[in-house]
Structure 1
Amino acid sequence: MKAEHKRMPQEDDESEINLLKKELEVSLQRIDTLEKENQELKQEVSRLKAQISTLKAYNNERKTVLWKKLQNSLDSNYTDASQHKLSAFINVSEQVPGTEKSSTRTSFPESTAEKPAKVPTPPPRPNSVTPTLPNKVKGNKALPSPAPAPPPFPSKSLAGSRAVRRVPEVIELYRSLTRRDAAHKENTTNPKGTPAVASTKNMIGEIENRSKYLSAIKSDVERQGEFIKFPIKELESAAFRDISDVEAFVKWLDGELSSLVDERAVLKHFTQWPERKADALREAACTYRDLKSLESEVTHFVDNPKEPLTPALRRIQALQDRLEQSIDNIERPRESTSKRYRDLQIPWEWMLDTGLIGQPTKRTNLQRNYRHKHSSILSVIQIDETKFIEARQKIHGKDN
């Protein structure tokens, strides 16, 4: 009986140990899966951060292009208005006959009509890109005004605007709605007041129809259709072997589309516009351009021997951190980005370790300067340490 009692607790302990082992195995498997998911989420976050940084750089570049375009339109409107006032003043002062007056008055619209219409220019043709549609380009040039320029905007409405043109219309809409709400409250309190003329829906529609921004977009959609077809065909048939060709092509594309009032708002009306490929080309060109500029900055880094040691080391470390950060932003999502570039026939070999990123020459200058500064620090520390040891020995010798 005693032996049986001893066996029973042992069996219970073994079963409990087996259960604990199974639970431990399940928990370990769960931990492994959670670690894998955590690693995947970290990679996804890094990829999204890199994409955000590239999109921010592209957004800043597009803002500068839009600002230059706005300044050019303001300058052209100002010169046209001054020429028109000057011609009218000359006509009045000379008091010429009616026929001469009519001829001089029609000179201003004739001068504006003589301005060349926007005609698509072919992109730069590298050896890696096959020529597409040369006959159609000539045919477009022969057509009478295939893509006329959008109507000029009045200078008064744009002289004070420092942002996108849609902001004044939004403010106007907000003010009109607030005025109508105030008038509606007054009518409800005062029964003798006049009723509202139109509903909010009609008012919004009227404001949209009167909006110069929306009318300019509609004008571009209607009048620049033939002009936009050419960049669409070039984008669809574009295939590159060198990333520098992509940079030149993106520069040409931005120059062609800069004549539009709002690129995104106009191109969304064209369903055949390859937005995914255009964004990928711009992303690749922007990343390559930033990396090349940083590489040139590193290779042309000059160490000033008269500069204090601490600021020089900080400057070297800051440049080294920028270089490593930019390379990390490319290396983290490199697998997915290279696959996307391959599908869209965009060069991706420069992202590999054997390409532009893996060139060892771009870090040697910084490392050499850093080693030089570091060795000078060590020499100073060693000198101070020897002086300290000698002084301490002298003190101990005097005490003895």
Structure 2
Amino acid sequence: MKTVAAKVRRVPEVVEFYHSIMRRDSKRDAGGCNVPEALPATANARDMIGEIENRSAYLLAIKTDVETQGDFIRLLIKEVENVSFTDIEDVVPFVKWLDDELSYLVDERAVLKHFEWPEQKADALREAAFGYCDFKKLESEAASFRDDARQPCGSALKKMQALLEKLELGVYNLSRMRESATRRYKGFGIPTDWMLETGIVSQIKLASVKLAMKYMRRVSAELEAVGGGPEEEELIVRGVRFAFRVHQFAGGFDVETMRAFQELRDKARSCHVQCQNPHQKLICRSTPC
């Protein structure tokens, strides 16, 4: 598997141009991030009453499973205790099979606590399998993203911004749990190489670079349509910010994305900065500065 470093390189011009644009834009208000308020939890009295009424039947069903499913559960215990993997791709179907088998129990946790169930290993297997699948879905979502030219530019850019934030959050969350998870997984024979920077993270970062290319191309196309004014200024700032953010996140650009950046930079440089009152405006010229 090729790493991001093998496909992208640092581009000092991206950082330099970002800072020059931000100096122009220093007096603009940064957009706030609205965090939705959590809805207050409400107790459902009717459900609570129903749970109490059904308690006896529920406990009886657990007792029946403990008494009749013992041999079946002991076989599963051996499978979990003895299993070991070298490829995370093999963990995923095993966990699916295990969950399918355990779904026959009336209450997995309540029944298994009556046996010497290897809970820590089973939970680690699930955590690794689900985590890997989540990252694969995230990488696939970014890699398959298509910019619909029929969609308004503002909506399209917001979609790409939201997708980048998901990629960043995914990589950040993985980096936070990598060290502790690696120790646990190795003790249970669960592969950990997919968690390294050269694993799924590399693919996610490369997908973000492709996303930046699509973002900058959309901005460049929109600049052709707006024809100057404050809207043009806003587009240039958004495009450069996004490019810089991805450049820092992924560690550079590939050749194709660098071309998209150069196109955006050339369009921005065809405009010059003119101070009006306390604010700076980008006035489009017909010839480069």
TM-score after normalising by structure 1 = 0.44
**1:285 and 2:167 matched:** no
Task: Quote the offset at 1:212 in angstroms.
Answer: 1.0
Residue 150 (structure 2) aligned to one of 300, 306, 323: 306
Residue 141 (structure 2) aligned to one of 274, 278, 297: 297
Residue 50 (structure 2) aligned to one of 153, 158, 168: 168
Displacement over 6 Å in runs of 4+ = none
- The answer (yes or no) to whether the contact 1:299–1:362 under 8 Å persists in 2 is yes
- Matched to 1:222, the amino acid is E
Q: Distance in 2 between matches of 1:336 and 1:376?
A: 46
Q: Which residue of 2 aligns with 1:238?
A: 83
Task: Quote the offset at 1:373 in angstroms.
Answer: 2.2
Task: Quote the offset at 1:259 in angstroms.
Answer: 0.3
Residue 229 (structure 1) aligned to one of 58, 68, 74: 74
Q: Distance in 2 between matches of 1:381 and 1:337?
A: 50
- The answer (yes or no) to whether the contact 1:243–1:285 under 8 Å persists in 2 is yes
Larger helix percent = 1
Equivalent runs, 1:1-400 vs 2, <5 Å:
168-170=50-52, 172=53, 211-270=56-115, 272-359=116-203, 360-379=205-224, 383-384=228-229
Q: Distance in 2 between matches of 1:333 and 1:298?
A: 22
Q: Distance in 2 between matches of 1:167 and 1:346?
A: 43
Distance 1:303 1:330, change over 3 A: same
Q: Distance in 2 between matches of 1:336 and 1:252?
A: 26
Find the residue that maps to 1:366 and give its secondary structure: helix
Which gives a bigger RCO, structure 1 or 2 (Cα 8 Å, sep 6+)?
2
Q: Distance in 2 between matches of 1:375 and 1:325?
A: 27
Q: Distance in 2 between matches of 1:232 and 1:264?
A: 14
Q: Which residue of 1 aligns with 2:267?
A: none
Q: Which residue of 2 aligns with 1:191?
A: none
- The answer (yes or no) to whether the contact 1:316–1:370 under 8 Å persists in 2 is yes
- CA offsets, 1:22-68, max 9 Å, x none? xxxxxxxxxxxxxxxxxxxxxxxxxxxxxxxxxxxxxxxxxxxxxxx
The percent identity for this pair of structures is 51
Q: Which of 1 and 2 has greater Rg?
A: 1
- The answer (yes or no) to whether the contact 1:239–1:345 under 8 Å persists in 2 is yes
Task: Quote the offset at 1:235 in angstroms.
Answer: 0.4
User: Unaligned stretches of 5+ in structure 2?
Assistant: 1-45, 233-270, 275-289
Q: Which residue of 2 aligns with 1:65?
A: none
- Matched to 1:168, the amino acid is G
Task: Quote the offset at 1:376 in angstroms.
Answer: 3.5
Task: Quote the offset at 1:321 in angstroms.
Answer: 0.6
Q: Distance in 1 between matches of 2:165 and 2:80?
A: 36
- Matched to 2:202, the amino acid is G
Q: Distance in 1 between matches of 2:177 and 2:62?
A: 36
Task: Quote the offset at 1:301 in angstroms.
Answer: 0.6
Q: Distance in 1 between matches of 2:164 and 2:173?
A: 14
- Matched to 2:50, the amino acid is P
- The answer (yes or no) to whether the contact 1:217–1:262 under 8 Å persists in 2 is yes
- The answer (yes or no) to whether the contact 1:301–1:365 under 8 Å persists in 2 is no
Find the residue that maps to 1:249 and give its secondary structure: helix
Task: Quote the offset at 1:326 in angstroms.
Answer: 1.2
Larger strand percent = 2
Q: Distance in 2 between matches of 1:256 and 1:242?
A: 22
Aligned residues: 188
Task: Quote the offset at 1:380 in angstroms.
Answer: 5.5
